Amino acid sequence: MAVRPPRPHPFDVRAALAGLLGGLLLWGMQLAPRPADGDLVLLEGRWWILLPLVVTAACEAVRRTLPRTALLVGWAALTVDTITQGNLVTVVMFTDLVYAAVVYSPPGTARRVLWISGALTVVGTVVPVAVWRVPEAVLVGAVVGLVAFMPAATGSIVRNHRDAADAARLRAEQTALLAEMDRAQAVASERARMARELHDMVANHLSAIAIHSTAALSLDDPDTSRQALGVIRENSVEGLAEMRRLIGILRDSGDDDAPAAAPTLDGLGALVEGARTNGLDVTLDVDHEDTLPAPVGLAAYRIVQESLTNALKHACPGRVTVTLRQPDRSLHIEVTSPYGDRHDPSAPGSGAGLVGMRERVALLDGTFDAGPESAEHGKIWAVRATLPVTEGEPA
């Protein structure tokens, strides 16, 4: 199957027709660069002028689709034109073929055309001067430079600018793609953060509600049921308030620059009192600086909150201890609760709560460990975390 040649560009076709009509106009007006009896005119007769004109115009039509072929054929046509009376339009169209060969050819061809045209310009200057030894011989090199080297140099400049524009456009597209990837990653991180916040804020209250509602249903004691219902109502109100606060953060359009209130270690006392109200025997031992960075304080609060929630849901009867120490530039957190004789490796909490605690510690480049351990009074479940405290970070 024969390969069809590429279709000429419409602009090139119009340029070829314009050049052909212009050349025919000069031919009809008998305007030629050289007289009919000149020394260089080897093909006498005005009809010979039309041959290189028509061939060069045909090459002009494929200057963009077949630039190398057009340049080689155009070079041959220009050679024929130099041994006739000549046509100025033929020379002009040839200069455009040189320009197009540099702009639209592959990079290797473009470089070769530029070097060859430069070498011809040098040769066209040096040889006539060396042979004729007259100042006017320099004009031969000037003409060669105008016809060959100047169009090639112009095409090289245009090509370099075009390549630079393409590279800048590619970088802009890559930057936009990276920005979109960063945005998607930020959205995913924010969703994960909000999921942790939702779990940490609501799980504790829902666990207390579930435990006390079970007690109220299983015990036929009016005083116990009334006390359980009171705890259920208190946790329901607090959970609803936390949900409203979280929904308010999500709905915030960003017009208000005031920071949202976040829990700090100052609220550990109230958190432990709430756990005691829900039935846990909690001991709190805190020894740290008053001015901790806000991210560290929030992470420590959430770790203690989630640990107490897991103890409320899974721990055996016994004492739960919460210890916070800051012996150096790091905050050490330890929460232990009775584990009993169970062999369930997931108890008391290896789901979203434990994953959330690990993520919070990892975001601050800290260490985290949780699991069952043997103690003096039986098996316990221990949660230990170490959060670095950066010097100079605002509280």
Kindly give the residue spans of alpha helices, DSSP state H, lying in 283-351: 294-314
> How far from 342 is each of 317, 350, 351, 373, CA to CA, in Å?
13, 15, 18, 12
**Which tokens in the block code for residue 349?**
């909490």
pLDDT of res. 351 = 56
Q: Which of 6-20, 151-165, 336-350 bottoms out in mean pLDDT, i.e. has the lowest? A: 336-350
Read off the DSSP letter of residue 5.
Answer: P
Coil, helix or strand at residue 280: coil
Q: Could you count the other beta carbons within 10 Å of the beta carbon of residue 37?
A: 8
Asked if the model's pLDDT at residue 18 lies above 90, the reply is yes
d(CA 38, CA 47): 16
Q: Is the dihedral of CA 374, 375, 376, 377 positive or negative?
A: negative
Residues forming a β-bridge with 238: none
**pLDDT per residue over 62-99, tens digit each?**
999 999 999 999 999 999 999 999 999 999 999 999 99
Please, are residues 121 and 98 in contact by the beta-carbon 8 Å criterion?
Answer: no
Name the burial class of residue 22, with classes exposed (0-12), middle (13-18) and buried (19+) by CB atoms within 10 angstroms of its CB. middle
Question: What is the residue-averaged pLDDT of the chain?
Answer: 82
Q: Could you count the other beta carbons within 10 Å of the beta carbon of residue 350?
A: 14
How would DSSP label each residue in 85-115? S--HHHHHHHHHHHHHHHHHS-HHHHHHHHH
Name the burial class of residue 278, with classes exposed (0-12), middle (13-18) and buried (19+) by CB atoms within 10 angstroms of its CB. buried
User: CB neighbours of 108 closer than 8 A, spacing ≥ 6?
Assistant: none
Asked if the model's pLDDT at residue 286 lies above 80, the reply is yes
Residues forming a β-bridge with 284: 322
Coil, helix or strand at residue 267: helix
**Which range has the top average pLDDT, 44-53, 203-212, 267-276?**
44-53
Closest CA to 341 of 379, 371, 377: 379
pLDDT of res. 341 = 61
The amino acid sitting at 318 is: G
| pTM, two decimal places | 0.55
**Which range has the top average pLDDT, 257-261, 272-276, 337-341?**
272-276
**Which tokens in the block code for residue 68?**
């190398």
- Residue listed under structure tokens 């030894």: 133
Position with higher pLDDT, 214 vs 261: 214
Position with higher pLDDT, 7 vs 192: 7
**Which tokens in the block code for residue 119?**
């070498």
d(CA 64, CA 15): 12
Closest CA to 260 of 271, 248, 270: 248
Please, are residues 364 and 317 in contact by the beta-carbon 8 Å criterion?
Answer: no
pLDDT of res. 347 = 46
Q: How confident is the model at residue 362 (pLDDT cuts 50, 70, 90)?
A: confident
Asked if the model's pLDDT at residue 140 lies above 60, the reply is yes
pLDDT of res. 381 = 85
Cis peptide leading into residue 317 (ω within 30°) = no
